[in-house]
Structure 1
Amino acid sequence: MIEIIAATVEDAIKIESCGGERIELVSALSEGGLTPSYGTIKNVVSSVNIPVNVIIRPHSKNFIYSEEDMKVMIEDINLVKELGANGVVIGVLTENNEIDNSKLERLIKAADKLDITFHRAIEEVNNIVESVKVLSKYQEITNILTSGGSGRIEDNIAVLNEMTRHSGNIRILAGGGLNLNNIQDIIRNSSVKDYHFGTAIREGNRFNGEIDEDKLRRLVGIVKNR
Structure 2
Amino acid sequence: MIEIIATTLEDVKRIEASGADRIELISGFSEGGLTPSYALIKRAVQSVNIPINVMIRPHAKSFVYTEEELQLMLEDILIAKELKANGVVFGVLNNQNKICRPSLEKLLKACDGIDVTFHRAIDELSDPAAGIEILAEYKQITNVLTSGGKGNIVHNIPIIKAMKEKAKHINIMAGGGLDFHNINEVMKNTKVPQYHFGTAVRYGKSVFGDVDGEKLRLLINTMSESII
Shift of 1:112: 1.4
Match for 1:203: what amino acid? Answer: Y
Cross-structure match for 2:195 = 195
Shift of 1:212: 1.2
Q: Distance in 1 between matches of 2:223 and 2:41?
A: 27
Shift of 1:14: 0.2
CA offsets 1:58-108 (integer angstroms, 9 cap, x no match): 000000000110110000001001000000001000000110011101111
Cross-structure match for 1:82 = 82
Cross-structure match for 1:156 = 156
Secondary structure at the counterpart of residue 153 of structure 1: coil
Q: Distance in 2 between matches of 1:185 and 1:126?
A: 24
Secondary structure at the counterpart of residue 154 of structure 1: coil
Q: Distance in 2 between matches of 1:27 and 1:7?
A: 6
Cross-structure match for 2:120 = 120
Shift of 1:127: 1.5
**1:6-155 alignment, distance < 5 Å:** 6-155=6-155
Match for 1:3: what amino acid? Answer: E
Q: Distance in 2 between matches of 1:222 and 1:108?
A: 36
Q: TM-score, normalised by structure 1?
A: 0.99
Q: TM-score, normalised by structure 2?
A: 0.98
Cross-structure match for 1:175 = 175
CA offsets 1:107-166 (integer angstroms, 9 cap, x no match): 111111110000000011121111100000111000000000111111111111000000
5+ residue gaps, structure 2: none
Secondary structure at the counterpart of residue 54 of structure 1: strand
Shift of 1:211: 1.0
Q: Distance in 2 between matches of 1:81 and 1:213?
A: 28
Cross-structure match for 2:219 = 219
Shift of 1:224: 2.3
Q: Distance in 2 between matches of 1:164 and 1:37?
A: 33
Shift of 1:190: 1.3
Secondary structure at the counterpart of residue 154 of structure 2: helix
Moved over 3 A (4+): none
Answer yes or no: is 1:186 the counterpart of 2:181.
no
Match for 1:209: what amino acid? Answer: G
Match for 1:86: what amino acid? Answer: N
Q: Distance in 2 between matches of 1:140 and 1:38?
A: 24
Q: Distance in 1 between matches of 2:7 and 2:95?
A: 30
Shift of 1:176: 0.3
